[in-house]
């Protein structure tokens, strides 16, 4: 005890609180014949130029307590400014620590490794030379040994006495005479400068102390402690701000679970919530993401940063910038070691860095690697085969990872009827599932129609061919492939239907047609002499070509344009609705959207106006109701054109359950189908969960001042 007391007194008086007698800027190095010396600012030589180097083994030129390092024969020692040798050159490294102490290294007698210790400026050993690393902090030093593959960290005092045992993965000085100590399980505790454990190993990390306060981290949660290790704010917050004047806390966003009567059923506290499926929610909090059930119980590990959608009973997850795969219950299947992971049915595609190049592999649902090679690319499976590319060439592998079709092709297409189109040396052909040629490579573009026929195209020439009998039909006109026939667009504007035997079984074209459009309710719109009419499937003119433009038939009516205005006619060319509108849609469920000089509105099949024509836009929804816009605000009309919700909202989403989510002044709420407020427009986000007919209503939290004891 007497020795320890004496050492503290000695260090206090000689080193720790000593100040340099002079500034380093008062001196300068000079060199003569390759040797270095030191002069003062008046040019007086203080240390003759007779040393290999003056200064330190790392860092800049600095005078510490009137001394500095000198090097000869690649070894370092201490010398004073009056050219007095303080220590011989016995150190491999020598540089300033803090508060007048120096860190030095000596070679081990057996291992020849560098062992670090601490010296005072008069050359006395403060901490013995037996550590792999040393970092000085106040009256303590964070030191490490390396007995095996890993560094083991601890804390010693300035007499070399062990304060925190050297058995931890990491030690960090927090300030306030506190140390964050991390074990090899990745958990952190707090120790005092006397080695007392103040908080156990339950934290992920700890911030530096500021104003005797530090933030503690446990996965996505934050808390606050003081320098004595007392919990000021328990774990559970999103973040803290510590300044000289005040401490502020930010909670997670509040998510209320509401029914359609605005009754609160439950609540959650997270940054973000998403509906995952009928039973689960995906939550996000401080860069972490996991799944919970409706009761809030975590279903997957909470330390992952992102999750993919479930596929085949598996989840892809992201952790520390890498992707892995886990089972449905959260059990790890493949560790996070991939750049990308893609799940397809019961197979797993994984991309990783192989010798600096990203490569793909194929795994089965048990996490077993099936592919025998690394591939540049793997496409989605077709007919039990996976298209793969290696060294710039494509082939196919099966579920077992066998390369059933070797990677020798420029490109491949999916298998159809047991065959695939491939490109080989710039030409196109067809192979079977064993890689044998069915159609030899050729310069034409090739497309499989079915198990009996295929198409080739070269320039304008399109040829229909049979796998068994060869050429069936050819043309230079544009051809569309339909399910049971080809549709040929004649150069004169007509259409021919051609079966796969090459027979023309329906002709819709004559020289007089300038345009023939696809059929609608059995009628084809045609253009003759610059005007539009309709013909039937027998090529008979059913509606005269007298109109400037026409639409398609739907519900027995087609729109027509005459003298710049739109009306509607039936299949007997009876004008049902006079041409009085600037624009029109087709009829659906008995209603059409039309516009006049006042705006847009709705009419029925009798031409009766069902609402006021005052809207800038009308959009039909899947439930046959209409979303309307007026002066930038949204409202809702019924399927009969009745006004349901006034156009006064910035956003409006009809939920098709008798309610609509609306947004006004940046906030969300719920109204019923008659526009009556149900959930007040006061939330920052509102999500409808159709699986249980409930609503997730979120309010963002604000920074609040922490009342300190």
- Ranges of each domain in the chain: 1-131, 516-614
Q: What is the pLDDT of residue 510?
A: 52
pLDDT band at 177 (very low <50, low <70, confident <90, very high): confident
**Beta-sheet pairing, 651-654 with 659-664:** antiparallel
Q: What is the pLDDT of residue 490?
A: 80
Q: What is the pLDDT of residue 538?
A: 82
Query: Does residue 83 carry a pLDDT above 50?
Result: yes
Ordered alpha helix ranges (H), 453-499: none
Question: How many angstroms from the chain centroid is the CA of residue 75?
Answer: 52
54-58, 209-213, 251-255, 443-447: segment of lowest average pLDDT: 209-213
pLDDT band at 552 (very low <50, low <70, confident <90, very high): very high
What number is the average pLDDT over the span 509-530? 83
Q: What is the pLDDT of residue 9?
A: 37
Residue 368: which residues within 8 A CB-CB, separation 6 or more? none
C-alpha to C-alpha distance for 697 and 685, rounded to whole angstroms: 6
Query: Does residue 658 carry a pLDDT above 70?
Result: yes
Query: Does residue 18 carry a pLDDT above 90?
Result: no
Average pLDDT, the chain: 92
Q: What is the pLDDT of residue 496?
A: 81
pLDDT in tens, 324-344: 999 988 899 999 999 999 999
What number is the average pLDDT over the span 234-239? 96
Query: Does residue 20 carry a pLDDT above 80?
Result: no
Query: Does residue 8 carry a pLDDT above 70?
Result: no
What number is the average pLDDT over the span 27-42? 94
User: Is 309 exposed, middle or buried, given 0-12, 13-18 or 19+ CB atoms closer than 10 A?
Assistant: exposed
- CA distances to 138, 155, 165, 231 from 194, in Å: 13, 10, 12, 20
Query: Does residue 566 carry a pLDDT above 60?
Result: yes
Q: What is the pLDDT of residue 487?
A: 83
**Burial state string for 30-54 with b = 16 or more CB within 10 A and e = fewer than 16:** eeeeeebbbeeeeeeeebebebebb
Q: Say what the pTM is.
A: 0.76
Residue 482: which residues within 8 A CB-CB, separation 6 or more? none
C-alpha to C-alpha distance for 352 and 43, rounded to whole angstroms: 62
What number is the average pLDDT over the span 116-124? 96
Query: Does residue 127 carry a pLDDT above 90?
Result: yes
């Amino acid at each position: 005890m007497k020795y320890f007391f004496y050492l503290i007194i000695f260090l206090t008086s000689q080193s720790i609180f000593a100040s340099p007698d002079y500034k380093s800027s008062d001196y300068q190095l000079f060199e003569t014949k390759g040797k270095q010396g030191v002069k003062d600012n008046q040019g007086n030589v203080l240390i003759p130029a007779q040393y290999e180097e003056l200064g330190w083994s790392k860092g800049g030129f600095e005078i510490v307590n009137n001394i500095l390092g000198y090097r000869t024969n690649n070894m370092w020692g201490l010398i004073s400014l009056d050219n007095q040798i303080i220590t011989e050159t016995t150190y491999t490294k020598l540089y300033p620590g803090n508060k007048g102490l120096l860190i030095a290294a000596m070679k081990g007698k057996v291992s020849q490794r560098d062992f670090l210790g601490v010296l005072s400026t008069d050359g006395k050993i403060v901490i013995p030379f037996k550590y792999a690393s040393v970092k000085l902090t106040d009256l303590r030093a964070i030191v490490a040994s390396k007995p095996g593959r890993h560094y083991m960290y601890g804390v010693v005092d300035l007499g070399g006495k062990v304060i925190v045992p050297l058995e931890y993965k990491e030690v960090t000085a927090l300030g306030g005479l506190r140390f964050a100590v991390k074990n090899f399980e990745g958990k952190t505790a707090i120790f005092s400068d006397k080695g007392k454990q103040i908080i156990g190993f339950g934290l992920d990390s700890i911030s530096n102390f500021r104003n005797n306060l530090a933030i503690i981290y446990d996965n996505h949660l934050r808390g606050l402690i003081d320098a004595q290790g007392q919990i000021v704010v328990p774990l559970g917050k999103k973040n803290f701000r510590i300044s000289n004047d005040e401490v502020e806390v930010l909670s997670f966003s509040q998510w209320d679970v509401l029914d359609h009567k605005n009754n609160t059923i439950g609540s959650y506290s997270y940054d973000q919530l998403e509906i995952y499926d009928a039973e689960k929610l995906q939550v996000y909090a401080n860069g972490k993401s996991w799944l919970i059930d409706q009761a809030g119980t975590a279903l997957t590990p909470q330390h992952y940063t992102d999750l993919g959608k479930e596929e085949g009973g598996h989840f892809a997850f992201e952790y520390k910038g890498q992707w892995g795969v886990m089972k449905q219950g959260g059990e790890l299947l493949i560790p996070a070691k991939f750049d990308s992971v893609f799940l397809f049915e019961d197979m797993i595609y994984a991309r990783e860095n192989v010798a600096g190049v990203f490569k793909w592999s194929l795994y089965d649902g048990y996490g077993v690697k099936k592919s025998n090679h690394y591939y540049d690319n793997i496409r989605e499976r077709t007919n039990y085969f996976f298209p793969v590319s290696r060294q710039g060439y494509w082939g196919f592998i099966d579920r077992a990872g066998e390369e059933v079709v070797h990677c020798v092709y420029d490109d491949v297409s999916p298998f159809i009827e047991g065959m695939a189109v491939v490109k080989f040396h710039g030409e196109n052909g067809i192979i079977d599932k064993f890689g044998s040629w069915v159609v030899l490579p050729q310069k034409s573009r090739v497309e499989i129609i079915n198990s009996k026929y295929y198409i080739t195209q070269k320039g304008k020439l399109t040829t229909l061919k049979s796998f068994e009998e060869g050429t069936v039909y050819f043309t230079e006109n544009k051809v569309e492939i339909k399910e049971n026939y080809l549709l040929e667009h004649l150069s004169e504007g007509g259409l021919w239907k051609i079966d796969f035997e090459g027979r023309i079984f329906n002709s819709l074209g004559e020289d007089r047609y300038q345009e023939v459009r696809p059929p609608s309710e059995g009628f084809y719109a045609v253009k003759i002499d610059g005007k539009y009419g309709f013909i039937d499937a027998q090529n008979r003119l059913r509606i005269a070509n007298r109109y400037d433009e026409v639409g398609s038939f739907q519900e027995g009516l087609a729109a027509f344009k005459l003298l710049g205005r739109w009306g509607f006619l039936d299949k007997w060319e009876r004008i049902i609705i006079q041409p009085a509108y600037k624009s029109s849609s087709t009829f659906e469920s008995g209603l059409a959207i039309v516009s006049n000089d006042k705006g847009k509105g709705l009419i029925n099949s009798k031409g009766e106006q069902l609402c006021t024509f005052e809207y800038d836009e009308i959009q039909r929804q899947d439930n046959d109701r209409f979303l309307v816009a007026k002066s930038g605000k949204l409202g809702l009309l019924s399927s009969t054109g009745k006004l349901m919700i006034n156009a006064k909202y910035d956003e409006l989403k009809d939920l098709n359950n008798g309610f609509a989510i609306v947004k006004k002044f940046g906030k969300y709420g719920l109204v019923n189908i008659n526009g009556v407020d149900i959930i007040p427009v006061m939330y920052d986000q509102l999500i409808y969960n159709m699986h249980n007919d409930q609503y997730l209503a979120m309010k963002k939290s604000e920074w609040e001042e922490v009342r300190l004891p």
